[in-house]
Amino acid sequence: MIYFSEIFDRAFNLFADPDIERKYFNDRAGFQKDMLDFLIIGKNKFVSPVAITERLVQMDASEGKYEEDSGDGSDEYVLESEIPHSGEGVGFTFFINKEKVHGVYIPENNSVKFDRDINEDETWGVCWFYAGAFTADFSKCFRKDYSMQAIMDKIINILAYGLLSAWGDKEVGRVLEVRNILTDHDFEMYSPANSARAKVEWRNQMNRDMDTLISELNWMILSTPRGGSRFGK
């Protein structure tokens, strides 16, 4: 199983966007929601080896919920909803009086713990979101002499680059649209052409890196003992 959150975390390290960085650290549930569509689009750019890509259709459904209640003077509160997979792969965002704060999920008690006690005249809230997971058993794609850890790491990297490429497609379209509506006077203050060029170059680099990883994965399979003749069996 590959939790989508593993892919999101891998992709985050390659983003160069302050808005995404703020959301990742302050609103993890919202970050997962935002990234889900890009992952679904990006995985379609992962086209080989077919024995792997055909298994990417097996996915968990996403789910999430927001809970809110009054404080009772303590810093820990039990949730009513059952969190999938004991919180693994789930993004949490914590609130006190609607303001985002830090907190942790405690799977043993199905509870959340805040950084401070919450008074009776205050409210606490938790938004959690489980984006999903690729649920197929990828070990059945390979012989026993394969390093599954190395291959799974490569698959996660490819999916992360696919997500980044899909996000880059959206950003390129947005910047080009802005360029088309700006006047000549606007061009004196801002260079949308340069911005568009930078976005295109970044997106193209993500595509090149993804193609390289796919080629490396195929080579890993073909260069193993017996030439990969039992791949997929």
- pLDDT at 207 > cutoff 60: yes
67-94 pLDDT tens trace: 999 999 999 999 999 999 999 999 999 9
Q: Decide the pairing of beta strands 2-3 and 133-134.
A: antiparallel
Per the CB < 8 A criterion, the answer to whether 103 and 113 are in contact is yes
153-163 pLDDT tens trace: 999 999 999 99
- pLDDT at 44 > cutoff 90: yes
Task: Name the amino acid, one letter, at 180.
Answer: N
Q: How many CA atoms lie within 13 A of 34 on its CB side?
A: 18
Confidence of residue 227 (pLDDT cuts 50, 70, 90): very low
The more confident residue out of 138 and 104 is 104
Mapping DSSP to helix (H, G, I), strand (E, B) and coil, where does residue 116 land? coil
User: Among 33-47, 131-145, 191-205, which stretch is predicted with the lowest mean pLDDT?
Assistant: 191-205
CA distances to 28, 118, 215 from 101, in Å: 12, 12, 43
User: Among 63-77, 150-164, 182-196, 216-230, which stretch is predicted with the lowest mean pLDDT?
Assistant: 182-196
Confidence of residue 191 (pLDDT cuts 50, 70, 90): low
Q: Which two tokens stand for residue 180?
A: 């088309």
Do you find a cis peptide bond into 49, omega within 30 degrees of 0? yes
- pLDDT at 189 > cutoff 60: no
User: Among 16-30, 97-111, 188-202, which stretch is predicted with the lowest mean pLDDT?
Assistant: 188-202
* pTM for the model: 0.85
Instruction: Please name every residue paired with 123 in a beta bridge, in sequence order, or none if there are none.
Output: 70
Q: How far apart are CA 173 and CA 21, in angstroms?
A: 21
Q: Which of 101, 219, 97, 203 minimizes the C-alpha distance to 154?
A: 219
Query: How high is the pLDDT of residue 139?
Result: 78
Q: Which of 165, 153, 169, 133 minimizes the C-alpha distance to 216?
A: 153
